[in-house]
Amino acid sequence: MLGNHGRSVATTIFTPFAKLLHRLHVTPNMVTATSTTLVVMISCAVLARGYVWQAGVILGVILFCDSVDGVLARYSGQTSRFGAFLDSTMDRLGDGAVFGALLVNAVFHLEPSPERTTAIIAGTVAMVGVAAVPYARAKAEIMGITASVGIAERTDRLIIALVCAALTDWNLWSWFYPIGLIWVAFASLITVTQRVLYTKKQIEAGDAGE
């Protein structure tokens, strides 16, 4: 959803920057590793310590720039299977850092309330769901099935969780924080279910054709 449109816009915006990086001999894998390192550092040093909207702004910029490595790889002709593997692995580390930091912030910085309790529960489920989504796709790909179906992409989940957390940090409504995590948990579990059912259907169709 958001991710599809974002990638198209990012490709247009970041192509000149990718050309500059290529001239400076910066590789796509360097960009991937650097962006993930920044995400983990900001999540742990800023978001987890209670500076929610500040971290949200910084992470939003990094997230928008997440397409730079792919744009650079295509422009420089350095696309590779290892690059795809590294990018996927680094994304998992970044996701874990962001949602882990949101959970830590809920535990230590939100006032005791039903909203806080809900945020902690939803955050825990969200972390499990966020990890399970790419795992389901990876296991399907081992079987030769591209299970990329789902109601929410990685970008959608991160943006909604961070925006909702920032809205609560701005004292707009205390329920925004848990609602964002509830949506991520729900969307992740639905996406996992969709991928399981899609993979099951493809396997059964293949078995029937043999």
- Provide the annotated active-site residues: 91
CA 34 to chain centre: 16
Query: Residue 102 corresponds to which tokens in the numbers above?
Result: 């949101």
Interatomic CA distance for residues 190 and 69, integer angstroms: 29
Residue type, 119: A
Asked whether 187 and 152 are in contact (CB, 8 A), the reply is yes
Asked whether 149 and 205 are in contact (CB, 8 A), the reply is no
Question: b or e along 98-115 (b: 16 or more beta carbons within 10 Å of the residue's beta carbon)?
Answer: bbbbbbbbbeeebeeeeb
Alpha helices in 65-175 (DSSP H): 68-76, 81-109, 114-142, 154-169
**Residues in the chain, how many?**
210
Interatomic CA distance for residues 210 and 208, integer angstroms: 6
Cβ atoms < 10 Å from Cβ of 1: 12
Query: Residue 112 corresponds to which tokens in the numbers above?
Result: 């005791």
